[in-house]
Amino acid sequence: MSSGDRLFFASDYMEGAHPRILQRLMETNMVSSVGYGLDEFSESARNRIRKACSAPEADVFFLVGGTQTNAVMIDAILRPWQGVMAAETGHISTHEAGAIEFGGHKVLTLPQMDGKVSAEDVAACIRTYWQDENHDHVVMPGMLYISQPTEYGTLYSLEELRKISGVCRENGIPMYLDGARLAYALACPENDVTLPDIAALCDAFYIGGTKCGALFGEAAVIPRHGYLPHLFTIIKQHGALLAKGRIAGIQFETLFTDDLYFRIGRNAIEAAGKIRQALEEKGYRFAFRTPTNQIFILLEKAQAAALSEKVEMGFWENTDDSHTVMRIATSWATQPEDVERLIECLERP
Amino acid sequence: MSSGDRLFFASDYMEGAHPRILQRLMETNMVSSVGYGLDEFSESARNRIRKACSAPEADVFFLVGGTQTNAVMIDAILRPWQGVMAAETGHISTHEAGAIEFGGHKVLTLPQMDGKVSAEDVAACIRTYWQDENHDHVVMPGMLYISQPTEYGTLYSLEELRKISGVCRENGIPMYLDGARLAYALACPENDVTLPDIAALCDAFYIGGTKCGALFGEAAVIPRHGYLPHLFTIIKQHGALLAKGRIAGIQFETLFTDDLYFRIGRNAIEAAGKIRQALEEKGYRFAFRTPTNQIFILLEKAQAAALSEKVEMGFWENTDDSHTVMRIATSWATQPEDVERLIECLERP
Amino acid sequence: MSSGDRLFFASDYMEGAHPRILQRLMETNMVSSVGYGLDEFSESARNRIRKACSAPEADVFFLVGGTQTNAVMIDAILRPWQGVMAAETGHISTHEAGAIEFGGHKVLTLPQMDGKVSAEDVAACIRTYWQDENHDHVVMPGMLYISQPTEYGTLYSLEELRKISGVCRENGIPMYLDGARLAYALACPENDVTLPDIAALCDAFYIGGTKCGALFGEAAVIPRHGYLPHLFTIIKQHGALLAKGRIAGIQFETLFTDDLYFRIGRNAIEAAGKIRQALEEKGYRFAFRTPTNQIFILLEKAQAAALSEKVEMGFWENTDDSHTVMRIATSWATQPEDVERLIECLERP
Amino acid sequence: MSSGDRLFFASDYMEGAHPRILQRLMETNMVSSVGYGLDEFSESARNRIRKACSAPEADVFFLVGGTQTNAVMIDAILRPWQGVMAAETGHISTHEAGAIEFGGHKVLTLPQMDGKVSAEDVAACIRTYWQDENHDHVVMPGMLYISQPTEYGTLYSLEELRKISGVCRENGIPMYLDGARLAYALACPENDVTLPDIAALCDAFYIGGTKCGALFGEAAVIPRHGYLPHLFTIIKQHGALLAKGRIAGIQFETLFTDDLYFRIGRNAIEAAGKIRQALEEKGYRFAFRTPTNQIFILLEKAQAAALSEKVEMGFWENTDDSHTVMRIATSWATQPEDVERLIECLERP
């Protein structure tokens, strides 16, 4: 994660892929196979994912990136008169350049606490719609979008997810989970939500590859077979169908072999743990507390500038004219020596 | 291209990537870089493409697949009241699952001959629109889509392209070229259209990677800098922005190093030439004549079935109840021994 | 239909509304009622339409114009992966400025004869899709659009409609009929298709008001109650919901009182019959034969110009550099004396 | 406004049209004219509106309803990467069933006070976007939507509008004003914003007809000629083009003859003033204070039910389990005797 003297902790997508993935791409390179995800590698990957999710009937599709996967799945789930509920800090609410609206659907924003929505707020949004005598003039809440970990690096507990899922199911509302960084949730000691839990509680979700060790790729999982008919064509229509589908398939086959996906998460979480401890000891202020691979620190602008000379971090936001929130992210690629060097750089601000 | 005893000639996207690409991905794997195509590899690739196109000011963006690139570019070029002219056999007219219409635009189909449109038909379409007294009720032709090679494997000559481009420019109509298989056009002895010609004649085009040796990826080129403002955001909105943009950048950097893109094309064209000659000698009928890496043969259904037991070919269409058009495609991955074995299989039908 | 010396036969929407409609708007003007079509007038109109169609369970919605009604209904019927089959001369194929594509759907054009599609061509389009091994990359035919009378003023016979409907139902394809000028079909002696026939054979259709005597308005009829859920909201989303829904309701209540809708048609058909006979006697050439209120004559350009000085006709198309097709349209508003004067103008060309 | 014993104050679109409008429709009914708004009545109406707005070069189009006009204008103004800023209580944010998102654009909600946005919040929204280092991943604020009066019946002062317009112009942001109930603003004693002010400060706006005495219709005004090219076709594409455009034209010609539009407003405002005074005297609580034709009162549910037996009011919202906000609206159609009767019904709750 270092290049020359500079340290790189800006994001979890700064390097190529986990070496095992590249190795597997090499081994399989000259094997001929059919396109569009109908190949044996993709089928093997699908089976491994079904098994990991305890969802033997699941439909699994491999897409390229997170925004794309969100747009495809949301467009497939919603009917024209419906919108998608999401935290006001949700990725689809803020950083997807209007991809959901491009597909014709409104994002119905919910309040958030630490990046999470509450079962109460989901229920209130649904109830408000149905109690409104003029609701035929209003976009119907048609599904719920959540992310695990959230955009703030926080986690839903199993209890929280169960409550939210309960509200959704009582109201016939599909629940969709964005798992762009799911590996880092699964590997987190504070986490009590497993892949089978997610598959049991959600109507659709995706297991992130791009930010969890793959060159690219996200695995969309629909636990109930046939729930989203003609999804293949919808994927094609969104320009999201890979001709060489195997390239995504091989990567996910590898990620779900020998627990690689979970090991990738663990490396990042352990590195983040060490950095977090050092930050605390040195008296840094956290913008908010996160248990996963993203750490958000509040810095004076001068400090941020000084630190940025040695360490590339991610810009998050300016809180006022003199303070900035910066993100430190670890990943599968974070090396112990980089963590040590980062900690050395973190003199008391 | 063989796997066990079976021969694979169904398409040009059946294997991984040219070994040089994989090697380069390995070499660069642990270098840290920023995301979204702002990295040094992508910049290097852009510069190599600008040079190869003699278009020093060109904007270049790397996208993932052909349908996606077509949809993004067409949506970026057209205004709401406009549609895109294309051959009735054009990929956007037939095999993109409505991706252009999903973006809100009509495909205005033109007659075709061997997969190509004529300058006369382009001019007629534009003239018909403007001469129609009710044209404010009609979708305005707002751009032209062509492909080189065409979906039928045929080529526009430089003379043809100049005429078509002339009609477009007289009428203020942007011309866009789909180069999904451009390497196979450029390497073709019959071809007289160079990359600089394309850059000079088109307002936008893409250089195909997926079907020309890359794991995936297409390089969208806009010769005139700034012609399509905010294209980065439009790409994001379409779910087409790669977080690890470098993965596409590294591939195109490699393809445009040491003439690899052209060498890939040449291998396929030479292999196709040998197969074509053998087919002719053995008396096969061609559905239509093509000089590039795709060969379309007309078979009785029984013959098609028999041959398919030994050779995987691509299904093209049924011409009647007893005849089928099958496609034989070569690529960068086609080995001389596979060509020999295929020719052996081609006993007089 | 005359204004000063000039005669007006350009279209059937050149005047206001049938006097009975205006009179009824006057009578009801100060009655207070709820909005959005939930008023008593609209309910009365719906009941009269249900009765006229022998469709007691039908859902009926009043919209404003034809393009709007087509776009709303097609968007409500189709799923994202589907397109609408229509004659290449269909209004949605040609003169709706891309309204269907704006809603995200492709128009799948079918061959036409006299503006009509054949059951065979509908069947072939569906069969071609399903027999295509790559059909998951292709827009699925999801419904059929036809118009009665057609854009060419011609009529489907009951036999033809039954065959087409049969093909649709065998294939699970909804059939939708655009009745912008339905009054003129129903009043035509050659016609053997009644409103109950249409309601029995179609999944949705609309009864045109704008071109048949109303100020504006089209009545969308869905014979099977509940077939299109949340249509009210889809209408609102398309900007097609009238706040004062009663204004459309009152008009259709009047049109379906004392056979007004049919009487309006008859006036136009009788006038057109006299004009047609005169044209024949004087040796005019017809561009195509029509039994309804639109007559298409082929004129030399000089003749067209000369006649246009006295009579305003509709421009249809230029067939070559020296010939033009002009449309003569009659309506509810055509007066016997205008027909006489027009016939006087029609000296042998 | 009464029907039998019951009083109707639920909205300002419960009756037909101002009698002068109906009378004029009668007078002109049999005059023949061309369609689509190219007729002489529409041209006369456009000229009267240009004069009333002191905007001699303005483009003026007549559409049918408010949601439609908003959707058409916003789609015409925005480019694909842009969204529209609006108060979180704006009509487009809440009660248009997702019509703006259907057109592909995000509504960027701003905080509101009494239904109004502040220049500061507009500036902050724009600044936040441009200061965000990742703004290429975010929807760009591309225009501002405001309404006068607002959805809460409140008014912007000229000073407020000037400030907001100033922020917009400094930032190159078009400003669009929804004047669904503009007559009631213009006639309000507290109001200091004239039509010429609006035309000078806005890039586009509409003068509402449906809720201000017309059968239907809104006049979209673009003060700078040619600012929105091909708007006619965009209108058609949205299904918003009236075949008998004259019907809207005649209505607006009448509304802008002899100050009718302003007189209509004055009747409603005077009636509302009397009712408001009576409510105050009788101790009713207002949900919020409004100077225009809509009055929002906070009632206990039992009170609301009792009053509703005698007077039809509009349901606005439930504030808690035991309280309801009801809307009383006056209009051009409100008669003095109805106001007297309403006041009699308003015994101290």
Beta strands in D204-293 (DSSP E): 204-208, 218-222, 285-288
Tokens for D315? 């349901």
- Give the containing element (helix H, strand E) for D298: strand D294-300
| Residue in A1, A233, A241 nearest the CB of B32 | A1
Q: What CATH number corresponds to the domain at position B90?
A: 3.40.640.10
Of C236, C262, C288, the domain-final residue: C262
Mean pLDDT of all residues in A243-257: 98
> ∠ at Cα A282 (A276, A287), nearest 5°?
55
DSSP A38-88: -SHHHHHHHHHHHHHTT-TT-EEEEES-HHHHHHHHHHHH--TTEEEEEET
Q: Which residues lie across from A299 on neighbouring strands?
A: A324
| Residue in A103, A215, A237 nearest the CB of B99 | A237
pLDDT, averaged across chain D = 96
What does residue C43 show for φ and ψ, rounded to 5 degrees? -65, -40
Do B141 and B209 belong to one domain?
yes
Domain count, chain D: 2
Q: Which residue has the tokens 């195909």?
A: B208
What does residue B175 show for φ and ψ, rounded to 5 degrees? -115, 130
pLDDT value for C348: 53
What does residue D296 show for φ and ψ, rounded to 5 degrees? -115, 115
Do B9 and B37 belong to one domain?
no
Q: How does strand A175-179 pair with strand A204-208?
A: parallel
On whether the CB atoms of residues A234 and A76 are closer than 8 A, the answer is yes
Q: Which residues contact C306 (CB under 8 A, 6 or more apart)?
A: none
Could you tell me which chain D residue has the CA closest to the CA of B233?
A: D136
**To the nearest whole angstrom, how far is the Cα of C30 from the nearest Cα of chain D?**
5
| Residue in D81, D97, D106 nearest the CB of A138 | D97
| Residue in A237, A244, A246 nearest the CB of B97 | A237
Determine the Cα–Cα distance for residues A246 and A23; give it in Å rounded to an integer: 15
Q: How does strand B6-8 pair with strand B311-312?
A: parallel
pLDDT value for B4: 58
DSSP state of C113: B
Decide if A81 and C233 are in contact by the 8 Å CB cutoff. yes
Tokens for D97? 């069933």
Determine the Cα–Cα distance for residues B253 and B24; give it in Å rounded to an integer: 9
Half-sphere exposure of C37 (CA within 13 A, CB side): 23
Q: Which residues of B touch C105 (CB under 8 A)?
A: 98, 101
Of C231, C262, C293, the domain-final residue: C262
**To the nearest whole angstrom, how far is the Cα of A187 from the nearest Cα of chain D?**
29
Q: What CATH number corresponds to the domain at position D335?
A: 3.90.1150.10
On whether the CB atoms of residues B41 and B33 are closer than 8 A, the answer is yes
Residue A155 structural domain: 19-262
Determine the Cα–Cα distance for residues D229 and C173; give it in Å rounded to an integer: 39
N-term to C-term CA, chain B: 23
Do A10 and A25 belong to one domain?
no
DSSP state of C139: P
Q: Which of B13, B82, B89, B95 would best serve as a mutation to test chain C binding (most C beta carbons within 10 A)?
A: B95
Model-wide pTM > 0.95 = yes
Decide if C318 and B131 are in contact by the 8 Å CB cutoff. yes
| Residue in C101, C133, C317 nearest the CB of B104 | C101
| A250 pLDDT more than 70 | yes
Q: Which residues contact C236 (CB under 8 A, 6 or more apart)?
A: A136, A137, D67, D96, D97, D99
Q: Which residues of chain B have pLDDT under 70?
A: 1-4, 348-349
**Better pLDDT: A126 or D320:** A126
Q: How many CB pairs under 8 A join B and C?
A: 59
Q: Which three-class secondary structure state does DSSP give residue B226?
A: coil
Alpha-carbon dihedral angle through residues D176, D181, D184, D187, given to the nearest 10 degrees: 40
Beta strands in A153-307 (DSSP E): 175-179, 204-208, 218-222, 285-288, 294-300
Q: Compute how many other C-beta atoms are within 10 angstroms of the C-beta atom of residue A60.
A: 24
Q: Which residues of chain C have pLDDT under 50?
A: 1-2, 349
Q: Which residues of B touch D140 (CB under 8 A)?
A: 230, 233
Do D10 and D84 belong to one domain?
no
**To the nearest whole angstrom, how far is the Cα of D217 from the nearest Cα of chain C?**
10
Determine the Cα–Cα distance for residues A134 and D73; give it in Å rounded to an integer: 24
On whether the CB atoms of residues C242 and D103 are closer than 8 A, the answer is no
On whether the CB atoms of residues B143 and B78 are closer than 8 A, the answer is yes
| A1 pLDDT more than 60 | no
Determine the Cα–Cα distance for residues D99 and D230; give it in Å rounded to an integer: 20
What tens digit of pLDDT does each residue of A283-292 get? 999 998 999 9
pLDDT value for C4: 58
Determine the Cα–Cα distance for residues B47 and B57; give it in Å rounded to an integer: 9
> ∠ at Cα C23 (C21, C24), nearest 5°?
65
Do B31 and B86 belong to one domain?
yes
Do B193 and B48 belong to one domain?
yes
Determine the Cα–Cα distance for residues A212 and A17; give it in Å rounded to an integer: 9
Could you tell me which chain D residue has the CA closest to the CA of C71?
A: D239
Q: Which residues of chain D have pLDDT under 50?
A: 1-2, 349
Question: Which amino acid type is present at position D255?
Answer: L
Chain A positions with Cβ closer than 8 Å to C: 75-76, 79-81, 104, 136-137, 140, 230, 232-234, 236-237, 241
Do A326 and A203 belong to one domain?
no
Determine the Cα–Cα distance for residues C63 and D243; give it in Å rounded to an integer: 13
pLDDT value for B1: 47
On whether the CB atoms of residues D158 and D113 are closer than 8 A, the answer is no
Do B205 and B282 belong to one domain?
no
Do D135 and D256 belong to one domain?
yes
Whole-angstrom CA distances from A215 to B60, B193, B216, B244, C34 are: 21, 34, 11, 7, 59
All partners of chain B with 3 or more CB pairs under 8 angstroms:
A, C, D
| A17 pLDDT more than 80 | yes
Q: Closest by alpha carbon to C332, among C4, C16, C64, C10?
A: C16
Could you tell me which chain C residue has the CA closest to the CA of D333?
A: C30
Q: Compute how many other C-beta atoms are within 10 angstroms of the C-beta atom of residue C163.
A: 17
pLDDT value for B78: 98
Q: Which residues contact A116 (CB under 8 A, 6 or more apart)?
A: A87, A146, A150, A154, A156, A160
**To the nearest whole angstrom, how far is the Cα of A29 from the nearest Cα of chain C?**
25
**To the nearest whole angstrom, how far is the Cα of C127 from the nearest Cα of chain D?**
31
Do D33 and D6 belong to one domain?
no
On whether the CB atoms of residues C162 and C170 are closer than 8 A, the answer is no
pLDDT value for B347: 77
Decide if B237 and D76 are in contact by the 8 Å CB cutoff. no
Question: Long-range contacts made by residues D40-43, C-beta under 8 angstroms, separation at least 24?
Answer: D41/D246, D41/D249, D41/D250, D41/D253, D42/D245, D42/D246, D42/D248, D42/D249, D42/D252, D42/D253, D43/D249
Burial class (CB in 10 A: 0-12, 13-18, 19+), B283: exposed
pLDDT value for D349: 47
Do D86 and D175 belong to one domain?
yes
Do D150 and D271 belong to one domain?
no
Of B223, B243, B262, the domain-final residue: B262
Chain D positions with Cβ closer than 8 Å to A: 80-81, 83, 94-98, 100-102, 104-107, 131-134, 136-139, 315, 317-318
Q: Which residues contact B282 (CB under 8 A, 6 or more apart)?
A: B346, B347, B348, B349
On whether the CB atoms of residues B142 and B173 are closer than 8 A, the answer is yes
pLDDT band at A3 (very low <50, low <70, confident <90, very high): low
